Amino acid sequence: MKKYILIIFSLAALLNISSCKKSELEIENPNSLTEDLFWKTEDDAQKGLNAAYAMFYKPGLWSRWIYFRLDLTSDEGYSISPWVELADWTRFQYINYNFWEGNVNTWRDTYKAIFRVNQVISNIEDIPFSDEAAKAQIIGEAKFLRALHYYYAALLWENVPLVLEPSKPEDLPAQNTLQQVFDQVEADLQSALTALPVSYDDAHRGRPTKGAVQGLLARLYMQQHKWDLAKTALDYFFTGEGSGQYELMANYQDNFSYDVENNRESVFEIQFSDANKGGDGDDPNATMSTNRPQFFAPRGIGWSDGQARYWMVDEFKKEMTTDAKIDPRLRYTLFYPALEADFGDKVYGRDWEWGDNEAWFRKYSRDYARNNEDYFAQSNFRMIRYADILLMYAEVLNELGQTTSAYEYVDQVRARAGMADLATAYPAIGGDKDAFRNRLKMERMLELCGESVRWADLKRWGDLDSQAGVDIVKQRDPDFNNFKVGKHIRLPIPQIEVENNTQLQQNPEY
């Protein structure tokens, strides 16, 4: 009898357990938000957008490694780092496609940024806003960020998957062509253009404006040689809403120092800060700084993993100013052995033992304020500035056969540096489109050296599309002896991505 009583009690206990409410068993952790609990309020949407902006501070992107791809791989820079594999990835010697610092980290952080943006775009529609214009602006900012990340992914790898919804671990996104990626960048930018303002108050500086959208659109169209569309985008700055919004700063150095940021020349810049001196994870104390000065500083100050090609020093000195002085832009662009003799600058307060033909990038260094560098540089990165807009406009007008009209925009940039107007300095150019383009290539280097535009320039100009073109480039940069036409115009896709995703194929010739 006792045995049967025990069985009955056991069955009753089981029935009681099975009849418990599910909600009583699923206790939510108050310290951990889930998707179901988040994306409810306007503040949630803004926090989601802030998380997307925070990706600028990750090492695969604009705090560190992307400069190795855009500056050092171009003919402006190189690496002789004792970390041989790191240096190899700046000289087209790609052995391990899964090299973290050269490839995988930037790919991962690019798609992590895109994931965060997609979360905002996907979830914001169901959030009630008191002001629909505020909702539209958040969507516009998010689409600008997605366009920006895909634009640089296209520059680096070209044939990347387009992921436009929040991804899941089991997803296998299909591979897209370069043209499809460019088309998506265009669609996002055109959408953002209607929602973003011409300018912001001081409290919201650093968010993309209509000018930032038009500047990135111009770059996008120029990479595709869509010169008419590029002109339309750039007209914004000269005859459109942006007319009068921007101007060249009188002091060239103001574009690279941390105490004159978000100035009248800035079209879009990444906001760095030394407020947090934490790691590069996602914790509340994560760094918001750039590591570039630490990695590109001369020996004895930083790691010196990245250096500048000395041919640029020679190019700066080929033409003197109207008062017979050295181009002052050289002073704030490069460190080199004769810097103190030429301009009187004893940088970082030190005596140096530099090789005769060595140079380093000076832009974004902090030698004007301190005697060393570290991982927590606070200098904003000026991704698009008005000087670049002027030079892009000149290039577009020249390609459209309006060469004589293009001169004045180059002359504005040259005048700030104290250089004679282009027609006076180089009268042989005249109305020759090819001659103008060739000179503009050097004008862009002199003004924009070390600002992460040269790789896109070389691709746009077709200088890397033929062996004859590469042969000219390698006279300035011997690393291009390793460059294989049709292959190294793009990076290999990380091999781990190809192996894990049956929809992906490795890039051509890898």
Residues 6 or more apart from 78 whose CB is under 8 A from it? Answer: 72, 90, 91, 306, 307, 309, 477, 479
Angle of helix 42-53 relative to helix 132-156, nearest 10 degrees, comes to 20
List alpha helices for 287-381, DSSP H.
292-296, 311-316, 329-333, 339-343
Rounded Cα–Cα distance for residues 417 and 327 (Å) = 6
* pLDDT at 4 (0 to 100): 37
Residue 268's closest CA among 453, 77, 49? 453
Tokens of 439: 């000179």
* pLDDT at 13 (0 to 100): 39
Rounded Cα–Cα distance for residues 357 and 22 (Å) = 73
For the chain, which ranges sit under pLDDT 50?
1-20, 22
CATH of 304-368+393-477, one of 1.25.40, 2.60.40, 1.10.287, 1.10.1200: 1.25.40
Give one word for 160, left, alpha or beta, with left for phi > 0 and alpha for psi -120 to 50: beta
Rounded Cα–Cα distance for residues 510 and 506 (Å) = 7
Residues 6 or more apart from 117 whose CB is under 8 A from it? Answer: 52, 142, 143, 145, 146, 149
Residue 298's closest CA among 366, 199, 231? 366
Tokens of 505: 């194929």
* pLDDT at 361 (0 to 100): 98
> Does 304-368+393-477 match 42-270+488-500 at the fold level?
yes
* pLDDT at 34 (0 to 100): 78
Residue 494's closest CA among 151, 161, 52, 143? 161
* pLDDT at 480 (0 to 100): 98
Query: What are the extents of the domains in the chain?
Result: 42-270+488-500, 304-368+393-477
Residue 491's closest CA among 76, 152, 43? 152
Instruction: Please state which CATH number belongs to domain 42-270+488-500.
Output: 1.25.40.390
Rounded Cα–Cα distance for residues 251 and 249 (Å) = 5
Rounded Cα–Cα distance for residues 286 and 2 (Å) = 64
* pLDDT at 30 (0 to 100): 58
